[in-house]
Amino acid sequence: MAKFDMFSKSARRLKGYDYRLEGLYFITICTQDRYPYFGEVVNGEMVLSDEGQIAHDYWLDLPKHMPHLFLGDFVVMPNHVHGIVGLEGILRDGSTLEDNKALPYNGITGKNEFMANLAPKAGSISHVIGFYKSICTKMIRSVSTEPFGWQPRFHDRIIRNQRELLLIENYILNNPSKWQEDRFYKPNTE
């Protein structure tokens, strides 16, 4: 079951696609059990908690750590983050994807090669989101009294054209005002 998304029963990532490629990606990352760590929506506006402010600030900080990355619209919601992430063709080490395709994977063989192939590749969307989740978790746990966590996976969509980009930007920007209609909406039961 680990290789399948629990909602669609299909592979989580586009088979055969290199998620280090230049392009735009729409990302959704949810908190563990969709618990509203990040604040609440009041009158159609997101009011961030201290944890939500950390999630917001560290999202904006990502390009400082990953120069091949640029950010589009994003929003931190009570129990998830939506954002557009763009990748440029130069990897962190200054090489291009074309430079790296011809190289063997650091001379690793056998079982270690298999495990290395499963790990997120430097410069990939999985690597970016793993870094973001890790740093947020560390900082949030240092200030929160609640046991913070993320869901283990994230959702991505490769943005294929300008029309799709505009629809996604509109969705992100209007997410707080349509919070109760959102599929991630979880009413506060306290």
Sheet of 23-30, strands arranged across: 69-76, 80-87, 23-30, 155-159
Residue 36 has pLDDT above 80, yes or no: yes
Domains of the chain: 23-176 (3.30.70.1290)
Instruction: State which of 17-21, 66-70, 92-96, 102-106 shows the largest mean pLDDT.
Output: 66-70
Angle at 104 between CA 99 and CA 105, to 5 degrees: 100
Residue 174 has pLDDT above 80, yes or no: yes
- Name the strand (E) or helix (H) holding 50: helix 50-65
Amino acid 22: pLDDT: 84
109-126 pLDDT, tens digit per residue, is 555 555 555 555 666 888
Q: Which amino acid is at 143?
A: V
Average pLDDT over residues 134-149: 92
Amino acid 12: pLDDT: 56
81-106 pLDDT, tens digit per residue, is 999 999 987 554 455 555 544 444 45
Amino acid 118: pLDDT: 52
pTM of the shown model: 0.76
Amino acid 108: pLDDT: 53
Count of CB atoms situated within 10 Å of the CB of 182 = 18
Amino acid 101: pLDDT: 47
* Banded model confidence at residue 2, pLDDT cuts 50, 70, 90: very low
Alpha-carbon distance 174 to 96, whole Å? 36
Q: What is the mean pLDDT of the chain?
A: 80
